[in-house]
């Protein structure tokens, strides 16, 4: 039995949550900063850390209040301490250190990417929860910073078997939105625009990186989309000059391009999942997915078809636990808490991933 407070501040969402026994979300608040970064077309690190500072205390109070518990009821304080923007991480880590010290409870630092893999386990209230990860589980994280496949042995044991060699899929969505003249954040904007489009109209490249690879690459897709929208650039005085701009696109043309992009991006993921399944001698029984891009309905549908075709149990987070959130941090921390594996008050914020970033030896 545990009641754990989680804090998440790795990028542009300030979030706090209270989770019981690693599964049941009692209180959960996310304050998004999208409006602050929209005019820059991407996250500005200095603005993000300042906004975390302003928002974290009200968000914490609200999450604990919603949970109907007091600070004295908390068994531990967990915080996403890596990877992410260092200034943003520091705000969450400092708050967690202060709280853990003042309450006299353990502090637990959680790898944000591992937490994305765990988010599918979270439930609200007393609804039934699936069993915590089975032995043979294939993991997928698709976010703004990661596109990786994992061999998952348990909540705290995930080894990378494939990863992107350039952009992450969420980053590709964000760049596609800029190329198509859509808003920020790009993923939801591209998805909305693609809803009215014909995905068959443009054949965009799906990069397989050779016969054996489980890695991903999205930079060719991004460039192909750019050239379709703006024409091939000519070099004038050492600088690329394009024939057209995104403003020249007709509404239907833009929707068709968004739909064709989305299909190529998602197929790059599902094809590698199928390859990982084909290559696995023992066979996977479960697919767990997480990260911001799992909020995409087209991807969710395609993952559900793969799971059905290959007879896999699919665990995918509820929509609210796909993008960055503190519930997944508090949930995963339970498994370290019950194992007595906690951190000291000198826990550091780190921009690099931990175990979830290690590649499995061939």
Rule CB under 6 A: which residues touch ligand KG4? 11, 143-145, 170-171, 173-174, 185-188, 191, 291-293, 295-296, 323-324
Alpha-carbon span 159 to 190, nearest angstrom: 31
143 lies in the binding site for Zn ion (CB under 5 A): yes
With CB under 5 A as the contact rule, the residue among 324, 326, 336, 342 that binds Zn ion is: 324
DSSP-assigned beta bridge partners for residue 110: 80
Give the nearer residue to Zn ion in terms of CB position, either 20 or 146: 146
Query: Which among 216, 214, 217 has a CA at the least distance from the CA of 138?
Result: 214
What's the gap between Cα 326 and its chain centre?
Answer: 12
Q: How far is the CB of 324 from Zn ion (least distance, A)?
A: 4
Residue 191 binding: pick among ligand KG4, Zn ion, none (C-beta 5-8 Å cut-off by kind) = ligand KG4
Give the nearer residue to ligand KG4 in terms of CB position, either 137 or 148: 148
Q: What is residue 313's three-state secondary structure?
A: strand
Q: How far is the CB of 351 from Zn ion (least distance, A)?
A: 14
Q: How far is the CB of 283 from Zn ion (least distance, A)?
A: 29
Q: Which residues are annotated as a binding site?
A: 112, 116, 141-145, 174, 187, 191, 296, 324
Q: Which residues are annotated as a binding site for substrate?
A: 141-145, 174, 187, 191, 296
Give the nearer residue to Zn ion in terms of CB position, either 105 or 110: 110
Q: How far is the CB of 170 from ligand KG4 (least distance, A)?
A: 3
Give the nearer residue to Zn ion in terms of CB position, either 9 or 143: 143
Strands (E), the chain: 3-8, 13-20, 24-32, 76-82, 107-111, 123-124, 137-142, 147-154, 157-163, 234-236, 239-241, 286-290, 313-315
- Taking contact as CB under 5 A, which single stretch among the options 40-48, 140-148, 189-197, 255-263 is the one that binds Zn ion? 140-148
Place of tokens 């690329």: 240
* CB distance 260 to 197 below 8 Å: yes
Alpha-carbon span 159 to 127, nearest angstrom: 30
- Per the structure block, which two tokens stand in for 175? 């760049």
The residues of the shown chain that bind Zn ion, judged by CB under 5 A, are 143, 324
């Amino acid at each position: 039995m545990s009641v754990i407070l989680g804090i998440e501040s790795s990028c542009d969402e300030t979030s706090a949550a209270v989770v019981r026994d690693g599964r049941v979300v009692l209180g959960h608040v996310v304050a998004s900063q999208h409006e602050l970064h929209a005019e820059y077309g991407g996250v500005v690190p200095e603005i993000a850390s300042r906004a975390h500072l302003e928002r974290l205390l009200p968000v914490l109070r609200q999450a604990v209040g919603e949970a109907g518990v007091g600070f004295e009821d908390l068994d531990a304080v967990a915080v996403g301490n890596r990877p992410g923007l260092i200034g943003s991480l520091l705000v969450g880590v400092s708050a967690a250190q202060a709280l853990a010290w003042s309450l006299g409870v353990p502090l637990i630092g959680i790898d944000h990417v591992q937490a994305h893999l765990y988010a599918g386990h979270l439930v609200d209230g007393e609804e039934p929860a699936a069993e915590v990860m089975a032995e043979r589980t294939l993991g997928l994280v698709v976010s703004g910073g990661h596109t990786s496949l994992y061999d998952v042995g348990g909540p705290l044991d995930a080894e990378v078997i494939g990863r992107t060699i350039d952009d992450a899929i969420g980053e590709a969505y964000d760049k596609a939105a800029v190329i198509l003249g859509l808003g920020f954040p790009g993923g939801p904007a591209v998805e909305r625009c693609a809803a009215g489009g014909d995905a068959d109209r443009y054949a965009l490249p799906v990069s397989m990186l050779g016969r054996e690879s489980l890695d991903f690459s999205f930079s060719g897709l991004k460039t192909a989309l750019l050239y379709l929208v703006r024409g091939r650039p000519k070099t004038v005085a050492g600088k690329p000059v394009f024939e057209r701009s995104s403003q020249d696109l007709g509404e239907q043309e833009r929707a068709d391009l968004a739909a064709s992009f989305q299909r190529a991006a998602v197929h790059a993921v599902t094809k590698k999942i199928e390859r990982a399944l084909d290559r696995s001698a023992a066979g996977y029984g479960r697919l767990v997915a997480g990260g911001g891009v799992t909020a995409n309905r087209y991807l969710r549908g395609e993952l559900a078809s793969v799971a059905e075709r290959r007879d896999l149990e699919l665990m995918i987070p509820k929509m609210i636990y796909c993008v960055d959130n503190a519930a997944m941090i508090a949930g995963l921390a339970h498994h370290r808490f019950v194992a007595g594996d906690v951190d000291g008050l000198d826990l550091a914020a780190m921009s690099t991933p931990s175990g979830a970033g290690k590649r499995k030896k061939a």
